[in-house]
Amino acid sequence: MSEPQDSPSEPAAKPEEVPVTFESLGLSEEVLAGVQAEGFTEPRPIQASALPPGLAGKDVLAVSYTHLTLPTICSV
């Protein structure tokens, strides 16, 4: 009969999240200029997750819990 293995004393470290920027999303220079002109400084989580597949030509269905984010994504 084998002995039970000890569990780790500390939980596994989570990888550090890299902040997403509009620049890192692959927006065209024209769209990026418009986003910056409107005063947006960082993408909302829904924008960060929905824009890359949309820009890659994939269909995207996104749900947001704020009333401002989806109209912004749709207008970009």
pLDDT tens-digit map of 14-60: 556 667 899 999 899 999 999 999 999 999 888 898 899 999 999 98
Burial of 43 by CB count in 10 Å (0-12 exposed, 13-18 middle, 19+ buried)?
Answer: buried
The reply to whether 13 falls in a domain is no
Domain hosting 29: range is: 23-75
The reply to whether 48 falls in a domain is yes
The reply to whether 1 falls in a domain is no
pLDDT tens digits, one per residue of 44-54: 888 898 899 99
The reply to whether 17 falls in a domain is no
What integer pLDDT is reported at residue 5 of this predicted model?
A: 56
What integer pLDDT is reported at residue 1 of this predicted model?
A: 55
The reply to whether 69 falls in a domain is yes
Domains held by the chain: number: 1
The reply to whether 43 falls in a domain is yes
Per the CB < 8 A criterion, the answer to whether 32 and 23 are in contact is: yes
In whole angstroms, give the CA distance from residue 64 to residue 68.
Answer: 9
The reply to whether 45 falls in a domain is yes
The reply to whether 47 falls in a domain is yes
Q: Which residue has the higher pLDDT, 10 or 75?
A: 10
State yes or no: pLDDT of 76 exceeds 90. Answer: no
Q: Which residue has the tokens 């890659």?
A: 56
